[in-house]
Amino acid sequence: MAAPLVFAHRGSSAALPEHTLAAYLRALDEGADGLECDVRLTRDGHLVCVHDRRLDRTSNGRGRVSAHTLAELEQLDFGSWHGVETDDPVDPDRTRLLTLDRLLSAVRAAGRDIQVLIETKHPSRYGGDVERRLAALLREHDLPDGQVGITVMSFSPLSVRRVRELMPDLPTALLLQVLPPRLPLRKLPFGARIAGPGIGLIRARPQLVPLLQKGGHPVYAWTVNERDDLDLALRHGVDGIITDRPRFVLDQLGR
């Protein structure tokens, strides 16, 4: 069985503030095969790398990401909550907001094979704007190419469908926290190629991984940070491991 790919969840986010450029560059240095990134739209239509709907947990801002312009968000400190000083003159990338545009440029500049998993968050609120902006940005960057692979992931089947309509050749992944009743595991809806179950779901449904794989769906498990979860994921033969601790997982895999 091939070793699973290792994806850095929000960057090397146990070590550095999630979704900052520093966290992603650390993950690349650590040897991760790929990066995972959540995207949201700003008020003026830019895709930014932020997980939560609100700014409060990971920055010194308040309120919804979508209520702010990019220029406003760029004034905020996205590092101190994680113990990184705001006015670090050495490495401002540790505390700044990251746009998807900038992340894609950094990935390109790394000059090696990298898989980027881009997750659309609550896209139903934006009537397709997230997916349209994403398609435009990928076109601007000429991605995917021979080195940089792109997969768009979502918990939302609607978002997967929109991505398939806009970019039929781009791989998509359907994320699963629970199993919706009547979900056909041998053929995921809307042409989703990859399945992304949470590790808790894999634990609860031992037949899940083989069923999905029999249907031709590679399985990427999230978020695998501890030894017992990693053992479980490996026992089930998953194809990808999404982790906040890429170096830890790579060490355990002997890579």
Active-site annotation, residues: 9, 51
- In the list ligand G3P, Ca ion, none, the entry touching 242 (Cβ below 5 to 8 angstroms by class) is ligand G3P
Q: Which of 18, 30, 33, 38 binds Ca ion (CB under 5 A)?
A: 38
The residue whose two tokens read 């907001």 is 97
Q: Which two tokens stand for residue 66?
A: 């979508």
Spatial separation of the C-alpha atoms in residues 192 and 181, rounded to whole Å:
17
Contact between 240 and 249 under an 8 Å Cβ cutoff? The reply is no
- In the list ligand G3P, Ca ion, none, the entry touching 14 (Cβ below 5 to 8 angstroms by class) is none
Strand runs (DSSP E) across the chain, as ranges? 5-9, 34-41, 47-49, 114-120, 148-154, 172-176, 194-197, 220-221, 240-243
Asked if residue 93 binds Ca ion (CB under 5 A), the reply is no
Q: How much of the chain is helix, strand and coil, in % rounded to 5?
A: 35, 20, 45
Nearer residue to ligand G3P within complex by CB, 118 or 185: 118
Write out the DSSP string of 171-228: -EEEEESS--TT--TTS-GGG--EEEEBHHHHHH-TTHHHHHHHTT--BEEB---SHH
Terminal-to-terminal C-alpha distance of the chain: 15
Residue 3 CA neighbour count, 13 Å, CB half:
12
State the minimum distance, in angstroms, from the CB of residue 145 to ligand G3P. 23
State the minimum distance, in angstroms, from the CB of residue 85 to ligand G3P. 26
Smallest CA-to-CA distance from 156 within 186, 116, 196 is with 196
- In the list ligand G3P, Ca ion, none, the entry touching 175 (Cβ below 5 to 8 angstroms by class) is ligand G3P
Nearer residue to ligand G3P within complex by CB, 104 or 221: 221
- Give the footprint of Ca ion on residues 116-135 (CB under 5 A): 119
Among all residues, whose Cβ is closest to ligand G3P?
A: 222
State the minimum distance, in angstroms, from the CB of residue 88 to ligand G3P. 26
Spatial separation of the C-alpha atoms in residues 88 and 41, rounded to whole Å:
27
Spatial separation of the C-alpha atoms in residues 88 and 94, rounded to whole Å:
8
Determine the interface stretch with Ca ion among 14-22, 114-122, 212-220, 230-238 (rule: CB under 5 A): 114-122
- In the list Ca ion, ligand G3P, none, the entry touching 246 (Cβ below 5 to 8 angstroms by class) is none
Nearer residue to ligand G3P within complex by CB, 42 or 120: 120
State the minimum distance, in angstroms, from the CB of residue 241 to Ca ion. 14
Contact residues: ligand G3P, CB under 6 A: 9, 36, 38, 51, 119, 175, 196, 222-223, 242
- In the list ligand G3P, Ca ion, none, the entry touching 229 (Cβ below 5 to 8 angstroms by class) is none
Q: Which residues bind Ca ion (CB under 5 A)?
A: 38, 119
